[in-house]
Amino acid sequence: TPNIDRLAREGVQLNHHISAASMCTPSRAAFLTGRYPIRSGMVSSLVGRVIITLGAPAGLPHNETTFADLLKKQGYSTAVIGKWHQGLNCQSRHDQCHHPYHYGFDYFYGMPFTLIDPCWPDPSRDTELAIENKIWLCVQLVTIAALTLTLAKLSGLICLPWSLILSMILFIFLLGYSWFSSYTSPLYWDCLLMREHDITEQPMKAERAGSIMVKEAISFMERHRKGPFLLVFSFLHVHVPLPTTTEFIGTSKHGLYGDNVQEMDSMVGKILNAIDDFGLRNHTLVYFTSDHGGHLEAQVGHSQRGGWNGIYKGGKGMAGWEGGIRVPGLIRWPGRLPAGKVIEEPTSLMDVFPTLAAVSGGMVPQDRVIDGRNLMPLLQGEVQRSEHEFLFHYCGVFLHAVRWHPKDSEAVWKVHYMTPIFQPPGAQACFETTYCRCSGNLVTYHDPPLLFDITEDPSESTPLTRDTEPLFDVVIQTVANAVREHEKSILPVQQQLSELNYDNLWLKPCCGVFPFCLCDMEGSTSAVGA
């Protein structure tokens, strides 16, 4: 990964960087708003902890403020390109109430949902598009014929039985129903691309989406290089099913996952090179991260498709263990931030919100709790300690763990109240359920809680006890007091991912006239929208 490595050399490395959730929808909500997802309601008390389909009315509430909102008020042009996964429709398939435009973004190209296994590969896509075009033409001709015959009969121009006209109408409905019922796979309803408000591919050709996204990103920067801009480039890489172009398949030593990582790195390079080519290098803050850890359970046979979390225990879906929430953090700003600096202090994805407010001259909202902290003093060396004394680690609505970095100590304590039960016995992940659970009989409730010193035991391999740690009771009690104070600040809100996270047929987006929704407006040579 030469380009990501270059970014690390030229910028600041945040080696203790933490996401606010171990799954994408809540983590991204926290990233955008600077607030724990439980405050916005982007959480669940049930099994599903992400928006499960584009047919769900769930989404980031409109009363939340994103960093795009803040920067737009400061005169920035704003765009999000790539994965969104914060909802789309509320009451109809056209209302797009959760479109990025409602959250401070001026431009959007990408996936309103997220990659899922049916998205790639899709060998029958071109044939289906051709068949649908012919069936839709047939429906149009029969509809015109039925309308013409109805008008002619009502006008007395012809004499024919009503049963013939009704049969034609019934034929139209049967044709539509049979077409819809043959496309029950999420491929056709969730794997799609949009440019602004319009669907451009349904279903999407996943392996080419990344290259189109890069062209869109470069085009956006070129259009707005004369003024301030915010670009959130949200990679579809490196998420299963790992759609990868033939140019990169087989190029790594680590299978398809490695190939996909290397393709992502090349895209990082193209974006960084464009920043240089436009003369924006010294005026542009670049931030690189992930929304959660690798998905250990994503395997095909003996092939690991979900990544690797190094020395850290656990992975995606595990809210307390480091492997689920410890993520890369690279920030480059030549002339403003020292190159090659490494920071071991706890930081959070939520810190991006107040940091961007600070560098843009904006103000964070004063009418709500902001959990992120401005990183600039730490990045520039004005202070040596993180402002995060406590970080709270939720699994849905359930508090699984708390991190405490005392102001007068180098230690970072981690207290676990619940941990998932790995299955099958002896495994290091939840292979039988694909994702670990947050509550119920598939978690262990710890009393007393488990305690680790992350600075001494980053792998969380050996819990401390009263016999091995003299400060055990002090740490447990201090964290318990912090939890009580934290819980007082949590206001009741609607749980988007519990109450609204269900599939509604009439909310599913459609490129054409429902149910004839297949389309490809990108074609073999994709044009970048101006």
| Catalytic residue numbers, as ranges | 24, 85
| Contact of 49 with 43, CB cutoff 8 Å | yes
Q: How far is CA 254 from CA 250, 257, 311, 348, 434, in A?
A: 9, 6, 18, 29, 22
Among all chains, which residue has been given the structure tokens 């809210």?
319
Q: Give the tokens for residue 84.
A: 């969104």
Q: Round to whole Å and give the CA distance between 79 and 332.
A: 20
Q: Please choose, from the candidates 1, 119, 49, 14, the residue with its C-alpha nearest in 3D space to the C-alpha of residue 355.
A: 14
Q: How far is CA 146 from CA 30, 74, 510, in A?
A: 53, 57, 25
Burial class of 299 by CB neighbour count within 10 A (0 to 12, 13 to 18, 19+)? middle
134-143 contacts: CB < 8 A, separation 24 or more? Answer: 135/175, 135/179, 135/516, 136/512, 136/513, 136/516, 138/175, 139/172, 139/175, 139/176, 139/516, 142/168, 142/171, 142/172, 142/175, 143/172
Q: How far is CA 43 from CA 338, 441, 443, 495, in A?
A: 37, 20, 18, 6
> Three-class SS string for 444-466?
EEEEEEEEEECCCCCCCCCCCCC
For the stretch 213-225, what's the b/e string if a residue is b when 16 or more beta carbons lie within 10 angstroms of its beta carbon? bbbbbbbbbeebb
| Contact of 36 with 20, CB cutoff 8 Å | yes
Sheet holding 398-404, edge to edge: 390-395, 398-404, 413-420, 443-453
| Contact of 190 with 116, CB cutoff 8 Å | yes
What type of residue sits at position 387? E
**Other Cβ atoms within 10 Å of 301 Cβ, number:** 6
- 17-18 vs 286-289, strand pairing mode: unpaired
Looking at residue 295, the DSSP 8-state letter turns out to be -
Phi, psi of 50 (to 5 degrees): -130, 160
Residues 6+ apart with CB under 8 A from 469: 451, 453, 475
What type of residue sits at position 442? L
Among all chains, which residue has been given the structure tokens 């759609």?
243
Q: What is the dihedral of CA 347, 353, 354, 357, to 10 degrees?
A: 140
Q: Give the tokens for residue 101.
A: 């435009």
Residues 6+ apart with CB under 8 A from 28: 85, 86, 234, 291
Q: Round to whole Å and give the CA distance between 50 and 31.
A: 15
